[in-house]
Structure 1
Amino acid sequence: MASLMTSSADAPMNRGKLHALAALATVLAIVSSPCSAAVFKCVAGNGQASYQALPCENEERRVELHARDPAPGEQAAARTRVRKEQRFVTEIESEREAARRSARSELKRNDEERQAQALRCAGYQERAERADADARMHLRRNRYKRDHELRARTLRDRYFSECFAAD
């Protein structure tokens, strides 16, 4: 019983909390209370409709639309739809980001392959020129000269088939 009783020193503090809670509850009740507003559909002379909060100037063509707060079941269904659509959008965005990453890696891989092919083709040209220079060093027609000429021809054929024809 003693725990239920409050001392006189605690009373002002409890009253202050009580007043604060009452003020908060009042504010929440006012803010969360349903607001009804009239919406007027006004039709212009050309047949174009507009919606406004004030009554129409042309009284004979005025149509009053009654706005209402949705029922709790409608609100729950709307929240469910929103969550479902948010999950769907998140899923689409993650798939889009995965596709972007895949495209970037594909471009990087293609670029690396092009660079490797360019180096390989430059190597074919360089080695063919070196083989031609080696063949020119041999003045007589001998086996070494023929070997260098054959090697240069083979490298040029590779260059043509792998590098020139690929472009």
Structure 2
Amino acid sequence: MGTPNEKVTPLDSSVEPVVKLDLDSQALDSQAREVKLSRVQSIHVGPLPTPEAFEKYEQTCPGAASRILSMAETEASERHLANQKALDATIKDTRRGMYLAFFLAILLIFGGFVLLILDKYIAGSAFSIAGLMIVFRAFIGDRNKSIDEKEEIE
């Protein structure tokens, strides 16, 4: 542990030492003494304080505990509303992209067939293939995406 008359200081100098040893060396020689130090650290994470802290708040300022609870409930409901709005915006954005991709695919396929009818085989084939690739990508891309998500979960 240390020698007699030694002051125990923590590693962090901003924390006050818990125990200071200032023992008489003759007392140590005549009797063996054992000193055990233990450090207890409590960490609380969450929107609400611990029950002990609630009690202290209520003693200090009557009604504070109920105000803290209502503040936490308001914060939670606002956070849920914001998350719901973000989810709705993502859904609308995804749906809009799907509609635009479908419209573009139909336009390319239709334009390709028109070009094929007008004996523009290379351009007509390119347009038709590009439109079909958009449609196939929609199906194949979703399948690959779900496989990748399954691999990430495992």
| Smaller-chain TM-score bracket | 0.3 to 0.5
RCO higher in structure (CA 8 A, sep ≥6):
1
Which structure shows the bigger proportion of residues in strand conformation?
1
Normalised TM-score (structure 1): 0.43
